[in-house]
Structure 1
């Protein structure tokens, strides 16, 4: 009986010890995995307090980085009003983009407070430019998928910019077109005058090739383009279409005005009683889509003098006074669409 009790007690102790060891091992494994992934919380975000200089880089830099990795660093500047400056090492190389978009392996920089992506980079053709945070924080995110890891990866040197210190790098680099929202890209493209300018903005390195490809026949569509001659440069001139819209939207136009109403001289008769003036006219349908109220307004006004016959009744029944006189009328020489914001309303 005593031997049986001792055997049961020993088995219980051994089982309890194994469970404890398994629990400790699980915790250690979980902690190790978090450390390997740069994790600080459930979002795998590692917080770094920036009081001087340091470096954040892809694992094994400058050698091939591992697959299936997600690393996030949030850099927080020490000191009120301080900002953070990031400088990429010239040795930069991640998996190439697809259709100009970094889909698979990339490094991304974001303003945590605004949720604004300052840039996403991949490939190896060029090194990203210097970045400076607008606030006291900035987030760096690195992602690699399970295919085609590259080298050398990336290395980012960070440094502290004390409050009041001017930016050395100038304004922040805007996000590349592929990362911009539809609204932002719409406004950006609308500001260009030619197809060439649009293509140069979208793909600075290959814009000429893209322009040529625009006018190549598409054999996937066997409709009118198959029955009629091939497309050629100038068959449909998009630049001309855009210019026509610009010329006839909000421009100076000839209007006839009543001189009595224009000059507010209701006691006077003019001959001719109407004259032609240039005034802004046309709609503003091409204003920025986020404009609350867009209207055509003059941006340059001049006064032009015109000699006319003036007729005015004399007092006391003495007949009509007849004289030639110069009158000044406003002419609009330049016009533009002006956006009226909510605050101005």
Structure 2
């Protein structure tokens, strides 16, 4: 069992991109290196960032084409970082179950190999995103269904690699962007501290409302332990698979669920995932890997924080999140002849 996040094909689509102004632009009709620093590549377009510019979906601000996969890798001088800001005009295919599966744009930091966010739908992308090093990657994917408009436009600029000391935050939580709020909440230890930070004047009332029974289904509990009589055959099987077992792993909910529009508290949860090696595999095995043999979806109740539409503060609620757990693992042997 695995999560499926998009249905986009890997076909490259290179329509003519309209000119948006005097700033540096990435055009997918370029066949070789241009004066704006765009280099042709079978896998991605490399843009040498020397000032301000933009990248955008084909035909922005009109409907983008279907079956499209575009990748831009922005590269600056080694002593400069790259800052990305979304245009307020934004519209891609809506998410399904809160997850951007089909048409989306995402930003990745190659320096730390981390996904900074994935966006779709029509919600305004707030704040800016800054690379840790001198590179940052933008990826746009659309599938064969339901193209939307106006697409997206991301403006980029340069920042010094050594930033000035940050001034103390002065914005209340309801006005902070999602990344700032996520970092602040992650430092808090108890749910009471979270509520005090979000609403210091009414945190006790929020606590009472948070734990009131609601219409939604409560989280399910699962039993892992079991008792069994000593059995030599069972002992032998356990020895064979001892190193390949479900183990506790911590996962980030925002990364696991691909939710860039919300904050969860706690931000990480423990899941069971297969781990360890397969030392007891047959000597005839060419390659032996520990893989999940039985996968289940389990529900965990956590605190969900979201910005209300129109800047009307924060929405706080208890919600169930479904995470993949590996209940059983097995050593899968690949024969030499394979």
Per the normalisation by structure 1, the TM-score is 0.41
Greater relative CO (CA pairs within 8 A, separation 6+): 2
Q: Is the radius of gyration larger for structure 1 or structure 2?
A: 1
If each structure's helix is expressed as a fraction of its own residues, which one has the higher value?
1
